[in-house]
Each structure stands twice: as structure tokens, then as C-alpha cells.
Amino acid sequence: MKLTFLGLPGAGKGTQSAIVSEKLGIPTIATGRILREAISEGTEVGLEAKTFVESGLLVPDLIIIGILNERLAKSDCKNGFILDGVPRTVAQAVSLEADGILLDAVISLEISDDEILERMTGRRVCPNCGAVYHLRDNPSKMGHHCELCGHILAQRSDDLPETVKVRMEAYHEKTKPLKAFYSQRGLLRQIQANAPIAEVTKAIGDALGIKL
Ligand code: ADP
Ligand code: AMP
């Protein structure tokens, strides 16, 4: 199974890809997470990407394509993978196809701009393992610590309302056109994302014809 998740920042891509990844036993590749790690480690890619990520702009396609190709070449991807937040431009999608990487389905998580802002203020993430929580809707059973690894949770610096606004604009301008791109290929599955997490997961399973 080769899947990708599309949707506004905060639509639930990371949350749902973690669930599906565990159920199907295939890895999730989240370019946002790879970039945040590269930035905190100060690698060359991190230095190139830093100002884009911190201001909420998309990182240039060539950097993303390089990161993705390197990750997809690893052996754990041979039985399938879930992409979270990539491709995010038509150029990235065309590059995947040109490299012979053909997706089986594209899940678009549908939610309005207004519903996103509350999700973003409540989001907490684990800087160590990448787990995602929400203060009210999906709290960690260990309070301010990660349920999975015990690390202290943090708020993402790009979840400030001004930066979220830039990221939403980037989605509407650069990423939304991918819905038409994948619809033409018969791959688009649109899922209402303003429902409890377990209901969204069930709808994804129904759309893919599998039990999740
Ligand atoms: P994305 O990866 O699309 O940016 P996340 O998966 O990180 O989005 O989710 C954004 C925030 O919303 C997180 O705090 C997450 O816990 C919460 N969340 C995700 N899905 C739902 C849902 N169906 N209902 C309520 N909160 C959700
Ligand atoms: P995310 O964790 O998916 O919300 O991504 C965080 C940030 O990383 C985005 O706001 C972009 O700056 C950058 N980013 C992640 N994935 C991509 C991508 N596929 N194309 C361009 N920029 C990306």
C-alpha cells in the first residue's frame, strides 16, 4: 500500500498516518518531521530549510524531492509506505511519478480554515518520537509527557497563529491543486476530517476498502 495524506495544516494527517502506519505495519514518511530534525541538528538541509519552515512557507521542491528519494530508497519502504505532508506541490507529485513511484490512493482530509485555528493552538508534539497530541481532544495520558517515550511535550514554533495563516495560504495556493491532479488519476478519496479521530480513521478504512 502506497498512500499519501493531503489537507490543511492541522487537518489530522500526522494523527491518522500514525494510526494507519501501525495497523498496516508500514512506515510513515513525514517531510515536516524530517525537516524539523534536520533543523535542530543543524545539517546542511536543515540550514537551507530553516527560514522557510519557521516562516510557514513551503521549502523549495528540489530539497523536498532529495529528502524523499533518499528516504524511499531505504529497505523498510519496500512493502509500502505512507506519506504525510508530501507531495505538497504539483512539481513534487510529477517528480514522484517520473521516478516510477505510483501511489495507490490519496486521502484528502477535508476541514475548514476556521476549524483549524483551534486545533493548532491545542497541538502538542513529542520532539523525541514525533507523537502528536491535543490538549483537549487527544491529551497524553502522561500529562505534559509523551505516552510513548516519556519525553516532555512541546508546542511547535510554527503553530503560532500568524505562521499558521501563512501555512494555510500555502496550502490553498500550492497544495490544493493536487486534488484535481490525483482526481484525474482516479486516486483521490475525500474524507470529512471534522469528526472524532476514531471516526475519521474508520472513514479512511472504508474509502480504502480495508478494516482499520
Ligand atoms: P497535521 O499533521 O495535518 O498538521 P495533526 O495530525 O498534527 O495535523 O493534528 C493537528 C492537531 O489536531 C493535533 O493536536 C491533533 O491531536 C488534533 N487532531 C487530529 N485529528 C483530530 C480530530 N479528528 N479531532 C480533534 N482533534 C484532532
Ligand atoms: P508539517 O509538519 O507537514 O506541517 O510541515 C512543516 C513545514 O515543513 C511546512 O510548513 C513547510 O515549511 C515544510 N514542509 C514539509 N513538507 C513539505 C513539502 N512536501 N513541501 C514543502 N515544504 C514542506
Classified as helix, coil or strand, 173 is helix
Q: Is residue 56 part of a domain?
A: no
Ligand 2: list residues with CB < 6 Å.
9, 31-32, 35, 52-53, 56-59, 64, 85-86, 88, 92, 158, 167
DSSP 138-149: B--TBTTB-TTT
C-alpha cell at 130: 514525533
What pLDDT score was predicted for residue 160? 92
Q: If we measure between CA atoms, which residue out of 41, 9, 14 comes closest to residue 28?
A: 14
What pLDDT score was predicted for residue 117? 86
Domain span at residue 98 reads 2-26+79-208
Domain count within the chain: 1
What pLDDT score was predicted for residue 138? 95
Q: Tell me which of 134, 136, 200 to substitute to probe ligand 1's pocket, judged by most ligand atoms within 8 Å of the beta carbon.
A: 134
d(CA 179, CA 26): 24
Q: Which atom of ligand 2 is nearest to the CA of 57?
A: 12
How many other C-beta atoms can be found within 10 angstroms of the C-beta atom of residue 68?
Answer: 21
Q: Is residue 48 part of a domain?
A: no
Q: Is residue 126 part of a domain?
A: yes
pLDDT along the chain (212 residues), means of 10: 97 97 96 96 97 97 97 96 98 97 97 90 93 95 97 94 96 98 98 97 97 90
Distance 193 CA to ligand 2 centre (A): 20
Cβ–Cβ < 8 Å for 4, 28: no
Distance 99 CA to ligand 1 centre (A): 31
pTM of structure: 0.96
Q: Is residue 198 part of a domain?
A: yes
Q: Is residue 183 part of a domain?
A: yes
Q: Is residue 108 part of a domain?
A: yes
What pLDDT score was predicted for residue 104? 97
CATH number of the domain residue 148 falls in: 3.40.50.300
Is any atom of ligand 1 closer than 6 Å to the C-beta of 190? no
Q: Is residue 69 part of a domain?
A: no
Q: Which atom of ligand 2 is nearest to the CA of 30?
A: 3
Q: Is residue 52 part of a domain?
A: no
